[in-house]
Chain A
Amino acid sequence: MSQSTSAASVHNSDQALKRLKARKSAESRFRFFGIGAIFAAVLMLGWLLNSIVGTGYTAFYQHYMTIDVELTESIVDPDGVRDPDELRKANFRKIMQEAIYARFPEVTDRKEKIALFKVISASGATDQARQMVYQNPSLVGETLTLSVPTSDDVDQLLKGYIDRNAPEARRKVTDQQIAWVDALKATGEIKSKFNWTFFTATDSRDPELAGIAGAVVGSLMALFVAFVVSVPVGVGAAVYLEEFAPQNRFTDFVEININNLAAVPSIVFGLLGLAVFLNFFGMPRSAPLVGGLVLALMTLPTIIIATRSALRAVSPSIVDGALSLGASHTQAVFHHKVPLAAPGILTGSIIGIAQALGETAPLLMIGMVAFVTEIPSTLTEPASALPVQIFLWSDSAERAWAERTSAAIIVLLTVLITMNAVAIFLRNKLERRW
């Protein structure tokens, strides 16, 4: 009895209560900070996503104008020979100018005509007519109904990025152009459509014609090369270092260097790639093959470190069990340890590769920061990459690039999230619990 009272008094003494209170408030303080940290992180992420999606989503649709185009023979093919190569060089600009002047016959003033032509995308419309005639020379002389992109300024106006109430001198479109556009919109000649161009075209100097297809293919090719080079080499190196290598000064030295390499700025790998792959081996500039090799070098340390820690996390009793049943060391490692570490290895590899997807700096040195007019079809053809495309677009003057830059970022983020989701899926599927 007396013991319990004394114990109670020890726990209920003023000092004890004070200590208890201090412990409790320390705990609630920590919880508060934790929640605050999560809240701050979510807020920043939300802000980032919101600003990117908010500016970017409008790039997924675009305004097109339906227009009757007469392919006048005297302009397109004055000699009447229908040679596709000559037809391709013909003055289609004039054809498109005549087409839009014909829609607004009341416009006669030269300056007004120039302004009128700026309603449609000069290169977009011209090239559409050009390629149709090049593919099918028999179209010369006929009248076609085409759906051509409007110019970037008109598109921006209709998307509400240009303030109609601003003084005329301060905006890119004149009052008269606004009147034409509104008239065309009212009759349904200007319509908004899903922007397929953005997904099927290569880079272009004109925002309304620019797409990410070339950059996406370039990025995928480079990632493919990076994956097939860095994963086998990285996993192999890690397995050897972890399981077979003798513990001596040399392996310690190698290990320290691998850890250091993981922290080297990525531009350094670009310089290495320039010196080794381009200058020494004479590989072509701007090729996804070289880009992939450089990115592989960059992800190698990440993969080695992830693989080693995954191998270390496998319970030693598994290997002991295998050995005690008569398996050789190699069998124990490859039949039991590596498969059990596979989820961790895969996660590390995919995250390493996903990191490589976002890199621009190493690609600068090997010439992938470039404007490429064609979608690459082999690993040695010149290509750009998605982050490079974002970088180049963000530095362009026209206002319409802002939404396209954000849209390209949305695509990049989607790819990254998909890759991480695959990593998580594989980890959960392959993970073995007991």
Chain B
Amino acid sequence: MNIKSATAILFGAALAFGCGEDKAEIKAPVATAEAADEIRIVGSSTVYPFSTKVAQEFKNKTGHSVVVESTGSGGGHKLFCEGAGGDTPDVTNSSRRQKKSEFEKCVANGADEVVEVKIGFDGIVLANAIDGAAVDLTLKQVFQAFAKQVPMSDDDCTLRDNPYAKWSDIDASLPDATIEAYGPPPTSGTRDAFVEIAMEGGAKKFACLAALKDEDSGKFKKVSHTLREDGKWIDAGENDNAIVQTLTNTPTAIGVFGYSFLDQNADMVKGALIGAVEPTFENIAGGAYPISRSLFFYLKAGNVDVTDGLKDYALEFTSEEAWGPGGYLEEIGLVPLPDEERAKYRKAVETLTGYSQ
């Protein structure tokens, strides 16, 4: 009895399922060949929360299904530019502008009408625990604290391995605490923006490095983009919540993450002032806060005919109710564009005008 039932369970059931399986596999390619019945979005994990919010509202209003993948900006452009038509992503989100090489790949693969939409700003904050000392840094000091190699003074451009162990070593006015920072890893778009805006911006404050930028921009990039590897800067993984947790346990440590995490955790961490400017919503929107970047999405104009509702999704995203001041995206931390820019990109969506680089 037992022996028979065991055989039945193992082979009978498995074979019966197996037959069903074959059919499913044959069906699969047919299903893809039909027109895409959902809007496919890939790209940046920074834009992901905004994109999913719009997707949700859009689904509620129209019933169209939307799939948003969080692949990172680079991964998003790669998938997006693989070709045109219903089998490829309709939209890619990006926390930086599309690179020339990526644009050219798009054109080469048939996706030649790409609509570029800037959706708003995102600040990158340096924060520490709410009970920690107040921090007020200049970009130059940020560079001195985190670069792998720094010049010792404005005139002497010989680069030395970063000698600063404490903040007070950089400037006597800074706290007498060990430099310790938790930030995003090199694979993250936040890291890209941090090194491009904060580190490059700080490096340029050294006259000799500014001169180097004109002479040999590659070398300048290497100097300004390489963060120290002696344990003072710690790649904390992609999870910003983990960084916030670490900061509350280590009051002297500084964390680097997106503004929305500061906004949501105002009871646990506080933002460092950069050049005496506080990272607030108003300061990022007004451009006073120096470390902020633009967020984008890119849409294939050619896919509007194959993917139902694609244009309506873009219109929903660029509606005042969504991305305008007081809109639902602002509620979850997107810093809106100024009026003229919103009008400009809205028009690009309405007319589906491709951009060029």
Contacts and interface: CB of A to CB of B under 8 A. Distances in A.
A367 B79 CA distance: 11
B260 A228 contact: no
Nearest to B53: A205
B6 A380 contact: no
B240 interface: yes
B48 A88 contact: no
A126 to B, nearest CB: 8
Contacts of A398: 264
Interface stretch (B21-29, B149-157, B287-295): B21-29
Contacts of A336: 3
A270 interface: no
B261 A397 contact: yes
Contacts of A402: 241
Given A172-B264, A367-B69, A370-B67, A88 B61 contact: yes
A170 interface: yes
A343 B61 CA distance: 52
Interface stretch (A18-26, A188-196, A248-256, A281-289): A281-289
Given A342-B6, A397-B240, A430-B5, A282 B29 contact: yes
Nearest to B48: A371
A289 B26 CA distance: 11
Interface in B23-59: 24-25, 27-29, 31-32, 38, 40, 42, 45, 48-49, 51-53, 55-57, 59
Interface string A394-434: 11111100100000000000000000000000100110100
Interface in B255-285: 260-261, 263-267
B267 A163 contact: yes
A170 B49 contact: no
A283 B99 CA distance: 29
B9 interface: yes
B62 interface: yes
A76 interface: no
A205 B266 CA distance: 20
A162 B71 CA distance: 33
A371 B24 CA distance: 24
Contacts of A130: 60-61
Interface string A93-105: 1000000000000
A229 interface: yes
Interface stretch (B194-202, B205-213, B326-334, B336-344): B326-334
A126 B61 CA distance: 10
B70 A339 contact: no
A169 interface: yes
Contact of A283 (B28, B60, B69, B260): B28
B28 A205 contact: no
A89 interface: yes
Contact of A339 (B7, B29, B45, B328): B7
Contacts of A399: 264-265
B65 interface: yes
Contacts of A70: none
A371 B52 contact: yes
Interface string A328-353: 00000011101110110110000000
Interface centre among B5, B14, B42 (most CB of A within 10 A): B14
A342 B61 contact: no
Interface string B3-24: 1111101110011011011001
B10 A373 contact: no
Given A205-B49, A282-B32, A380-B28, A373 B66 contact: yes
Given A122-B328, A170-B266, A397-B333, A370 B241 contact: no
B130 interface: yes
Nearest to A379: B24
A280 B6 CA distance: 38
B28 A131 contact: no
B67 A371 contact: yes
A287 B28 contact: yes
Nearest to B27: A380
Interface in A235-259: 235
A285 B40 contact: yes
A372 interface: yes
Contacts of A231: 10, 14
B61 A373 contact: no
B60 A127 contact: yes
B57 A123 contact: yes
Interface centre among A89, A203, A228, A336 (most CB of B within 10 A): A228
B102 interface: no
Contacts of A334: 7
A369 interface: yes
A388 to B, nearest CB: 10
B308 interface: no
Interface in B320-357: 321, 326, 328, 331-333
B32 A373 contact: no
Contact of A227 (B17, B27, B87, B267): B17
Interface centre among A131, A334, A369, A379 (most CB of B within 10 A): A379
Contact of A370 (B57, B68, B332): B68
A229 B4 contact: no
B61 to A, nearest CB: 5
A120 to B, nearest CB: 13
B2 interface: yes
Contacts of A346: 9-10
A204 interface: yes
Given A370-B68, A371-B67, A382-B67, A284 B28 contact: yes
23 contacts: A88-B60, A122-B328, A123-B56, A123-B57, A130-B61, A162-B267, A172-B266, A205-B52, A206-B56, A228-B21, A231-B10, A235-B10, A284-B28, A284-B31, A345-B10, A367-B69, A371-B67, A372-B65, A373-B65, A380-B32, A402-B241, A426-B9, A430-B5
Given A126-B60, A284-B32, A289-B24, 15 more contacts: A88-B63, A93-B321, A123-B328, A172-B264, A205-B53, A228-B17, A232-B15, A232-B18, A339-B6, A339-B7, A369-B71, A370-B68, A380-B28, A395-B238, A395-B240
- Top-4 shortest CB links A-B: A342-B6, A228-B17, A339-B3, A371-B68
Interface of A: 88-89, 93, 114, 122-123, 126-127, 130-131, 162-163, 166, 169-172, 203-206, 224-225, 227-229, 231-232, 235, 281-287, 289, 334-336, 338-340, 342-343, 345-346, 367, 369-374, 378-380, 382, 392, 394-399, 402, 426, 429-430, 432
